[in-house]
C-alpha cells in the first residue's frame, strides 16, 4: 500500500522496554515522530514539538533501522504521531512482521493499521469521537484532583474491552500516588500505570 506521504520527521528511534501501560516490561522499538500542537505543559518530551527541528526520514530508512533489533514489537509515539498519515509506515512495518502499537492523544484522525491503540486524551485538545470505539487502552494522566472526574468522562465513552489506566504525572508522583492507590482500590475497573522506565533509568 502506497500513500502520498512516505517521509516523516523523526525525533528519535530507540530499542528499550515499554515502560508503562498494558505492555509494560515488553521489549519494544520506539519510533518518536516530531511535531505536536496539543501543548501539555507537563510534557516530558517538549523537544519533540517542533517538527522542523528534526530530520526527515523515509519509511524505508525507519523500517530498516527497526529490523536491526530482535523484538518485532514497535511503539509509534510523539509528539503527536497522527499529525501524519501513517498508512505507509505501518503497512511496511507489518510486512516485515511487526506488531504495532500507537500512543496518541486522539486529536487527529486515525490512520495506519494497528494491533494496539493507546488513547491518552489531553484537556488542551479533545480526542476525536472515532477513538473511543477502537481504543484498546485508555491512559489518563493525573496531575490534580479534578483529573479523576475527567478520566471517568472518557472511560464512559470507550468500548467495553478497553483497558483503563491512571498514571500520575511524574513530577507529582510522591504527592499524588497515595490518593491514586486509594482511588483504584475504590474503583477497581481502573489499573495504575507506573512509569517503570524512569525507575529503571532506561529510555
- The pLDDT of residue 41 is 67
- The pLDDT of residue 51 is 79
Task: Give me the phi and psi of 73, to 5 degrees please.
Answer: -115, 125
**Shortest CA distance to 131 belongs to which of 151, 149, 104?**
104
Contact in structure between 184 and 191 (CB atoms under 8 Å): yes
The answer, yes or no, to whether residue 42 has pLDDT greater than 70, is: no
- For the segment 106-113, the average pLDDT, to the nearest whole number, is 97
Mean pLDDT of the chain, nearest integer:
93
Domains of the chain, residue spans:
7-200
Distance CA 81, CA 131 (A): 14
Instruction: Look up residue 81 and give its three cell numbers.
Output: 504521531
- The pLDDT of residue 45 is 74
- The pLDDT of residue 124 is 84
CATH class of 7-200: alpha beta
Query: The cell 492523544 sits on which residue?
Result: 105
- The pLDDT of residue 15 is 98
- pTM for this predicted structure: 0.93
pLDDT digits (tens, 9 = 90+) for 118-133: 999 998 889 999 999 9
Confidence of residue 3 (pLDDT cuts 50, 70, 90): very low
- The pLDDT of residue 5 is 52
- For the segment 80-86, the average pLDDT, to the nearest whole number, is 96
Confidence of residue 4 (pLDDT cuts 50, 70, 90): very low
**Percent of the chain surpassing pLDDT 90:** 85
At 28 the three-state DSSP class reads strand
Contact in structure between 30 and 115 (CB atoms under 8 Å): no
Contact in structure between 202 and 15 (CB atoms under 8 Å): no
The answer, yes or no, to whether residue 52 has pLDDT greater than 90, is: no
Distance CA 187, CA 87 (A): 37
Query: The cell 519533540 sits on which residue?
Result: 48
Confidence of residue 66 (pLDDT cuts 50, 70, 90): very high
The answer, yes or no, to whether residue 44 has pLDDT greater than 50, is: yes
Distance CA 118, CA 141 (A): 13
- For the segment 23-48, the average pLDDT, to the nearest whole number, is 85
Sign of CA dihedral 77, 203, 93, 72: negative
Contact in structure between 35 and 9 (CB atoms under 8 Å): yes
Confidence of residue 2 (pLDDT cuts 50, 70, 90): very low
Amino acid at each position: 500500500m502506497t500513500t502520498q506521504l512516505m517521509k516523516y520527521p523523526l525525533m528519535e528511534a530507540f530499542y528499550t522496554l515499554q515502560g508503562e501501560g498494558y505492555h509494560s516490561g515488553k521489549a519494544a522499538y520506539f519510533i518518536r515522530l516530531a511535531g505536536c500542537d496539543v501543548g501539555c505543559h507537563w510534557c516530558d518530551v517538549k523537544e519533540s514539538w517542533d517538527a522542523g527541528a528534526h530530520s526527515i526520514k523515509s519509511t524505508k530508512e525507519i523500517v530498516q533501522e527497526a529490523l536491526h533489533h530482535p523484538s518485532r514489537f514497535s511503539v509509534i509515539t510523539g509528539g503527536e504521531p497522527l499529525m501524519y498519515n501513517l498508512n505507509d509506515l505501518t503497512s511496511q512495518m507489518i510486512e516485515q512482521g511487526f506488531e504495532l502499537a500507537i500512543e496518541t492523544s486522539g486529536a487527529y484522525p486515525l490512520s495506519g493499521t494497528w494491533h494496539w491503540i493507546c488513547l491518552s486524551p489531553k484537556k488542551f485538545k479533545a480526542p476525536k469521537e472515532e477513538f473511543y470505539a477502537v481504543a484498546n487502552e485508555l491512559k489518563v494522566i493525573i496531575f490534580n484532583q479534578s483529573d479523576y472526574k475527567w478520566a471517568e468522562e472518557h472511560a464512559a465513552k470507550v468500548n467495553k474491552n478497553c483497558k483503563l489506566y491512571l498514571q500520575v504525572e511524574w513530577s507529582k508522583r510522591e504527592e499524588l500516588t497515595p490518593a491514586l492507590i486509594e482511588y483504584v482500590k475504590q474503583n477497581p475497573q481502573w489499573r495504575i500505570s507506573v512509569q517503570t522506565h524512569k525507575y529503571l533509568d532506561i529510555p
